[in-house]
Amino acid sequence: MTVTGARNAPDIVDVVALGESMVTFLPTRPGRLADVPAFERAIGGAESNVACVLAACGHSTRWVSRVGADGFGQHLVERIAGYGVDTSAVSVDAGRPTGIYFRTAADRATDAHEVAYYRTGSAASAMAVDNVDLAAVRAGRLLHLSGITAALSGDCLALMRELTAPRPGRPRVSFDVNHRPALWPDADGPRVLLELARCADIVFVGDDEARQAWGLHGGRAILEALPEPEIVVVKQGSGGATVFDRNTEGLQDADGTATFVRAPRVDVVAHVGAGDAFAAGFLSATLRGLPPRERIRHGHLMAAAALTTPGDLAVPPTRHPATAPQGARPGAERPGGPPSQRPSWMSRADRLAALDDEAWGRLRLGPGWTQAGEATEEANTA
């Protein structure tokens, strides 16, 4: 095994994301996998998707994983680094391959959707406490993990337990449940996911997967099952999302403030990657210190960016440098801090997130809306 990058004194970044990324092959036309004649290569991975979107939004991010000593692994590292993500803590495993998968163009929720994974025995499935740069993983303001990693192998599960264990100096942990029943070798998956979620500070879970995994119905039931996390985000698909924030001051009940925001209407191209993009948008707004409503809105807008593109990765809304400082590049300034220290230009997402409730309720987003001046269909509030 060869390790790229130094293991000493890693730089502190905004967000570290640990997990498997794979090369994905997208069909060139609709149809069954048996009938599709050709595929286009892309990349996909729940945690690296979040890191890439956050980096494109101007945050400093690091992706930690393992890839094979093959062209697919090289492609993954190059593509993810191309988004501005630090990949210096990615290990190269000469004995195991990089995972790949093929999928159809059909909606994941339909019977016509097919996915063929080739990830068993992958390099990333061999991640373990003793072969991952733990200092690099912990050198972030926030550590983002998902339940997918826990399902890959016993070593991966032990690593997840090590990273989520409460201890002094542990970074704030964000955990996306990402329940994937087919990945778990036994029936312990739901119990393990609940265990890991209860150790996190921020939890993302869909109301549908909470029903499937834990038999829970409704946001309050989910919140009661997760008494430890500061923030619980319950995603309700195209209907919207609710954030339960136990730290928000103001009008509260015993469980904290509940804030629901409807999702905008979206002309969907593909559903893959929307959950990762939502998490990235929410975490970006969290790092910027925005209130719960704006956090959810930024999550919805990033999800819409993913929903209106064919691949796994969202294309974040462009920033407009017309009023930026001389020589500044979009996204170069740190988006956190008080208003006086934030970038002097507003992103398209910032402006849409600031709409009043009536205009937000009329919002409709179509393909190309993220690229100002190049959009084939602008954001519509009519």
For 224-243, the pLDDT digits (tens) are 999 999 999 999 988 999 99
Provide the whole-model pTM: 0.87
In this prediction, residue 369 carries a pLDDT of 83
Residues 6+ apart with CB under 8 A from 323: 344, 345
In this prediction, residue 145 carries a pLDDT of 98
Q: Is the pLDDT of residue 179 over 80?
A: yes
Which whole number is the average pLDDT over 89-116? Answer: 83
Which whole number is the average pLDDT over 240-258? Answer: 71
Instruction: Find where tokens 């826990």 sit.
Output: 150
Residues 6+ apart with CB under 8 A from 288: 335, 336, 342
Q: Is the pLDDT of residue 209 over 60?
A: yes
In this prediction, residue 131 carries a pLDDT of 96
Q: Is the pLDDT of residue 248 over 80?
A: no
Whether the Cβ atoms of residue 64 and residue 119 lie closer than 8 Å to each other? no
Which whole number is the average pLDDT over 176-187? Answer: 91
Whether the Cβ atoms of residue 189 and residue 197 lie closer than 8 Å to each other? no
- In this predicted structure, which of 11-15, 110-114, 377-381 has the lowest mean pLDDT? 377-381
In this prediction, residue 1 carries a pLDDT of 42
Where residue 209 falls (left for φ over 0; alpha for ψ -120 to 50; beta otherwise) is alpha
- In this predicted structure, which of 181-195, 274-288, 360-374 has the lowest mean pLDDT? 360-374
Radius of gyration of the chain (CA): 20
In this prediction, residue 178 carries a pLDDT of 94
In this prediction, residue 379 carries a pLDDT of 56
In this prediction, residue 222 carries a pLDDT of 96
Which residues in 290-304 are b (16+ Cβ under 10 Å) and which e?
bebbbbbbbbbbbbb
In this prediction, residue 321 carries a pLDDT of 36
In this prediction, residue 370 carries a pLDDT of 80
- Under DSSP, the state recorded for 170 is P
**Nearest-CA neighbor of 305 among 259, 272, 342?**
272
Percent of the chain scoring above 90 in pLDDT: 63
- Alpha carbons 91 and 96: distance in angstroms, whole number: 11
pLDDT band at 345 (very low <50, low <70, confident <90, very high): very low
Average pLDDT of the residues of the chain? 84
More confident residue, 253 or 232: 232
Q: Is 276 a catalytic residue?
A: yes
In this prediction, residue 318 carries a pLDDT of 55
- Alpha carbons 87 and 20: distance in angstroms, whole number: 13
In this prediction, residue 325 carries a pLDDT of 28
pLDDT band at 270 (very low <50, low <70, confident <90, very high): confident
- In this predicted structure, which of 163-172, 236-245, 314-323 has the lowest mean pLDDT? 314-323
Q: Is the pLDDT of residue 357 over 90?
A: yes
Which whole number is the average pLDDT over 29-34? Answer: 89
- State which H helix or E strand residue 3 sits in: strand 2-3
For 51-98, the pLDDT digits (tens) are 999 998 899 999 999 999 999 999 999 999 999 999 999 999 999 999
**Nearest-CA neighbor of 132 among 151, 155, 111?**
155
pLDDT band at 132 (very low <50, low <70, confident <90, very high): very high
Annotated catalytic residue within 70, 207, 276, 312 = 276
- In this predicted structure, which of 86-100, 161-175, 307-321 has the lowest mean pLDDT? 307-321
